[in-house]
């Protein structure tokens, strides 16, 4: 009886450890990607974790995108309104920088976006 009890405790501890580790992994921040769209097409996609400088060839001009410390920012643009330049840097999933004149969209997306969408229903 005592032996069975200790086995049961061991099993429970193991289950708790697996659950805890699984929870830790589940709870960990999912990898995010910087995605650049020009018009309706995906122009570039890369990890938000890597520092990068990119000149986006938009439909009516260029936008300079700088990714640093997980933040994406448009620092220069050829568009007349410069709204994209004035927008704050983005770092969270779902945030975007839009340049209407150049039809450029810079977005932060999660690497497993499809899964997330189906879970949240939108």
Does residue 38 bind Zn ion (CB under 5 A)?
no
Cβ distance to Zn ion smaller for residue 34 or 79: 79
Does residue 65 bind Zn ion (CB under 5 A)?
no
Residue with tokens 């220069």: 76
Least separation in angstroms between CB 102 and Zn ion: 6
For residue 39, give the nearest of 59, 67, 62, 60 by alpha carbon: 59
Which residue of 35, 48, 84, 105 would you call a contact of Zn ion, by CB under 5 A? 84
Which residue of 38, 79, 90, 106 would you call a contact of Zn ion, by CB under 5 A? 79
Which residue of 34, 99, 107, 108 would you call a contact of Zn ion, by CB under 5 A? 99
Give the CB-side neighbour count of residue 114, counting CA atoms within 13 A.
Answer: 0
Least separation in angstroms between CB 64 and Zn ion: 11
Identify which range of 8-16, 50-58, 88-96, 98-106 contacts Zn ion by CB under 5 A: 98-106
Q: Specify whether the CB–CB gap between 21 and 64 falls below 8 A.
A: no
> How do beta strands 71-77 and 32-38 pair?
unpaired
Beta bridge partners of 65: 54, 74
Cβ distance to Zn ion smaller for residue 77 or 105: 77
* Positive/negative CA dihedral, 13, 14, 17, 22: negative
**Interface ranges with Zn ion (CB under 5 A):** 77, 79, 84, 99
């Amino acid at each position: 009886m005592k032996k069975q009890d200790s086995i049961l405790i061991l099993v429970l501890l193991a289950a708790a450890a697996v659950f805890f580790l699984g929870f830790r992994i589940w709870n960990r921040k999912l990898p995010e990607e910087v995605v650049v769209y020009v018009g309706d097409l995906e122009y570039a996609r890369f990890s938000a974790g890597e520092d990068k400088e990119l000149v986006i060839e938009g439909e009516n001009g260029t936008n300079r995108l700088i990714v640093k410390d997980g933040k994406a920012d448009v620092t220069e643009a050829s568009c007349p309104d410069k709204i994209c330049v004035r927008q704050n840097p983005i770092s969270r999933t779902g945030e975007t920088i839009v340049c209407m004149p150049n039809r450029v969209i810079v977005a932060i997306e999660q690497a497993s976006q499809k899964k997330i969408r189906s879970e949240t229903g939108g």
